[in-house]
Structure 1
Amino acid sequence: MIADSDTRWKWGALTARRVSERDVDLSGFLLRGRATPTPRQLAEVGAGVHPDDLREVTGAEFVRAVQQDAYDVVVLALVGGAVQAVLHGLAALDRRPVVVTGYVGVVYEKLADGLLLRHGADVVLANSRHDAERFRAVYTGVGADASAVTETALPFLGGAPYAPADGRDTVVFAAQPSVPESREDRGYLLRRLVEHARLHPRREVVLKLRSQPGEHTTHIEELPYQKLAGKLASEPPPNFRLAYGHMGELLDRTDLLVTVSSTAALESLHRRIPTVVLTDLGVRETLGNHHFIGSGCLASWDQLDAGERPDADPAWLAGQGVAADVPYDTAFDAVRERVADLLARPALPPIAPYYTATTAPGYLPGILARYRLDAAPADEVTGVRRVMRDAVRDAARGAYRHGVQRVAPVIRRMGEL
């Protein structure tokens, strides 16, 4: 399994385990880039899944590893462009594994772009019936084979169903790194959360953070809430606190989950925890909360301050693959059957992505070059030249990552002064 961020690592590692009905060796790869997770992030999102070995690689190095180690199945938990590049790299191999890919959570933007970049994998996982229908419609609409689309569920759902506890009243706000994006909007949400704690002094109000300053997730977080909290006009009340850690463990003691559009809402709804998707900043595609139209979960801070609690719509939940009538354990049967069928064949069919030099001559070459997969594995430089080249690239990547993660956010903030 290869991942390029903390959230994709969580999805990919758990998916890899659920794809197989038996205990198998799991090799973990981290795609080197600006969002490569730290050891702390891996431990936090790991959910008890530990690979037998772990390596940080480039796209080309991953393809070489697959060629050398002859894996049976690989799970690509990567951004769409990286998936497409790796698919073309794997297509050049004499023997290839079964390739599985999909999405970490709610698919609310770049639907066509992301799906077509994933086309060519043997299995494209859809986390719900709703997503499966949309995915097939996109593929058939452009004349591409849609047979790889396989309905499943998010692999990190589960946990004990919600049960109120005497004396416990905990509200958790699940923060997101890039939604909303502006300082004004993020400051507004933080102030409302703190004010909610003041209005309800007997209620524990928790701001669940995704990363510590300097760490990066799937999206760049230029304005971390913990830094904004340090600049509040007055000290937050004692019943307000910040929290890191595994979301599932925090949900064990949550009585109300509040978010803008985090996938944590689906985890919460699956456990039937009262869940609110905020409308304060509007219901907009750029926020992702439009995905929850029809859920019954939309509400504002004013409504929450007044004590209102929305009720989730059962039909909407079923369509999203959460709190559904079908037992959660059976949600992965279809993908297991498809993978088993592919492995039983004498030979796998050639990888045939929708994007080729014929269908996308102005798009595909740039994607392949970005991940250094614009040459077949056999064309890779070897020997001393390769060692020298890799050393120079590692130094350049380190400088680039420092610039993206440290210098660029400072320059942007200076520009806002």
Structure 2
Amino acid sequence: MPASISPRPRVAVLADSDTRWKWGALTANRIVSDIQFDGFLLRGRATPTARQLEEVGVRAESLREVTGVEFLRTMGREAYDVVVLAGVGGAVQAMLHGLARAWEGRAKRPVVVTGYVGVVYEKLSDGLLLRHGADLVLANSRHDADRFRAVYEGVGADAGSVVETALPFLGGARYDEEAREGRPFTVVFATQPSVPVSRTDRTYLLRRAAEHARKHPEREVLVKLRSKPGEHTTHIEELPYQKLAAKIPGGLPTNCTLVYGHMGEVLDRTDLLVTVSSTAALESLHRRIPTAVLTDLGVREVLGNHHFLGSGCLASWDELDAGYRPAPDALWLSRQGVAANGSYETAFEAARERVAELLAADELPPIAPYYTTATAPGYLPGILARHHLDPKGEPMPGASAVSEETGGVRRIVRSAVRDVARGAYRHGVQRVAPVIRRMGEL
């Protein structure tokens, strides 16, 4: 007889940034029904702040910050049905090896799920092979699923874990231009922390948004920011737009403002979404909001806008200033999992069925990543060591997890030290590093 499944499956989500927390938490709720949901935030430079977590708007029954070793020991000690790894590739690979060791000898273990938070436009092979070993590797579109399987099959690895889904945070009301009810036509420029990189390019994009507002005083232009100064998201932001805006000659016009908040709420009042390559473009296209992917800085892999080739969305600020509104290609939308045709609700059925099948099985095979000390002896040990694991996936000496009985004063002191360390790191990234680079260019 198959093993019984608890009425409310217990799910753990490990995430290392605000965007990956959003993806992991929403994915968990879409692929498993009526869950008992515990969240774990991997301690690091991008650990989300309380404000960022609040903005994501996903609630867990418990949520705590952990090291990789602490997470693994919790997984070895407590009973979960599903574990979602929402982290960067190296962290996922380390946790897969650590979980394989922690669950060694168990016939029945949790189902492990991983995937990507958005558009996959760089390091495809590297990132995918670092995620190999999970029971499900979720692809956000048919396009991605085909590419993922090709990579795994190309190295002789099992591609059966690849399951086509969609981005879990798509949704919201379909765009209706006639329902604006007298509010101004609203253009939203969705910024990104790391694209583009240079001060010149970022200043250019901000200046063009401001100029668009000046040329169209009847419009409202919103510059949608991902984080406040001092916060980090999935990517490091060395040159926050807030600081660049303060140096725009004459300042921003009154109809051009910087905004924060949940992307879905901003899209509720958007008539034209403009970006370089943000996943926000897919959210916008899902709602059938006119969407422009900028070509001003070229169509280049380093920018990620090459992903939108064939979409019908490529445009420049000059064209937008002149009134151009891109029209997306329906076939491209379908291949990219945007599901603007209304099929979004069925996008997660295959993943739900696969998880249910694995949960009902009497036993699951051991976790078996493609990377081992035999296939990647010069690569894997370094990845594991960054998370304080030895080549066997065991915690290194001195990497013992903090006891749950740690005293309150000691915990407060440790938390304060971590906050100071993070602050110093962010100061170095945002202030010191740019100065050193400028000096090197002299």
Coarse TM-score class (shorter-chain normalised): over 0.9
- Contact kept, 8 Å, 2:69 with 2:400, in 1: the verdict is no
Say yes or no: does 1:338 pair with 2:347.
no
Which of the numbers 71, 95, 100 marks the counterpart of 1:91? 100
Task: State the 1:403 CA deviation.
Answer: 2.9
Q: Which amino acid aligns with 2:48?
A: P
Q: What's the secondary structure of 1:187's corresponding residue?
A: helix
Partner Cα distance (1:326, 1:162) in 2 = 13
Partner Cα distance (1:10, 1:278) in 2 = 26
Task: State the 1:382 CA deviation.
Answer: 7.6
Give the corresponding residue for 1:240: 256
1:9-408 residue pairs with structure 2 within 5 A?
A: 9-20=21-32, 22-46=33-57, 49-94=58-103, 95=106, 96-164=109-177, 165-168=180-183, 169-325=185-341, 327-374=343-390, 375-376=393-394, 381=400, 398=419, 400-408=421-429
Partner Cα distance (2:252, 2:342) in 1 = 43
Task: State the 1:235 CA deviation.
Answer: 2.3
**How many percent of aligned residue pairs carry the same amino acid?**
70
Q: What's the secondary structure of 2:102's corresponding residue?
A: coil
Partner Cα distance (2:141, 2:402) in 1 = 47
Partner Cα distance (2:175, 2:362) in 1 = 47
- Contact kept, 8 Å, 1:33 with 1:397, in 2: the verdict is no
TM-score (norm 1): 0.95
Partner Cα distance (2:67, 2:156) in 1 = 32
Task: State the 1:397 CA deviation.
Answer: 5.0
Aligned residue pairs, count:
412
Partner Cα distance (1:382, 1:280) in 2 = 49
Partner Cα distance (1:298, 1:129) in 2 = 21
Q: Deviation digits for residues 311-331 of structure 1, max 9, x if unmatched? A: 100000000011354621111
Task: State the 1:414 CA deviation.
Answer: 2.7
Task: State the 1:284 CA deviation.
Answer: 0.1
Q: CA distance change for structure 1 residues 33 and 383 in 2, over 3 Å: closer, same or farther?
A: closer
Q: Deviation digits for residues 252-301 of structure 1, max 9, x if unmatched? A: 11000000000000000000000000000000000000000000000000
Shifted more, 114-123 versus 231-240: the winner is: 231-240
For structure 1, the residue ranges without an aligned partner over 5 or more in a row are none
Say yes or no: does 1:414 pair with 2:435.
yes
Partner Cα distance (1:210, 1:139) in 2 = 33
Q: CA distance change for structure 1 residues 383 and 144 in 2, over 3 Å: closer, same or farther?
A: closer
Q: Which amino acid aligns with 2:34?
A: D
Task: State the 1:398 CA deviation.
Answer: 4.8
The Cα RMSD (Å) is 2.1
Q: Which amino acid aligns with 2:160?
A: S
Q: Which amino acid aligns with 2:265?
A: E
- Contact kept, 8 Å, 1:86 with 1:373, in 2: the verdict is no
- Contact kept, 8 Å, 2:70 with 2:402, in 1: the verdict is no
Q: Which amino acid aligns with 1:145?
A: D
Shifted more, 30-39 versus 374-383: the winner is: 374-383
Partner Cα distance (1:131, 1:400) in 2 = 38
For structure 2, the residue ranges without an aligned partner over 5 or more in a row are 1-12
Q: Which amino acid aligns with 2:110?
A: P
Q: Which amino acid aligns with 1:408?
A: V
Partner Cα distance (1:120, 1:99) in 2 = 9
Shifted more, 339-348 versus 286-295: the winner is: 339-348
Q: Deviation digits for residues 27-60 of structure 1, max 9, x if unmatched? A: 00000000000000001122xx200000100111
Q: 4+ residue runs of structure 1 moved beyond 4 angstroms?
A: 377-384, 390-400
Shifted more, 168-177 versus 87-96: the winner is: 87-96
Q: Deviation digits for residues 104-160 of structure 1, max 9, x if unmatched? A: 000000000000000000000000000000000000000000000000000000110
Q: What's the secondary structure of 1:92's corresponding residue?
A: helix
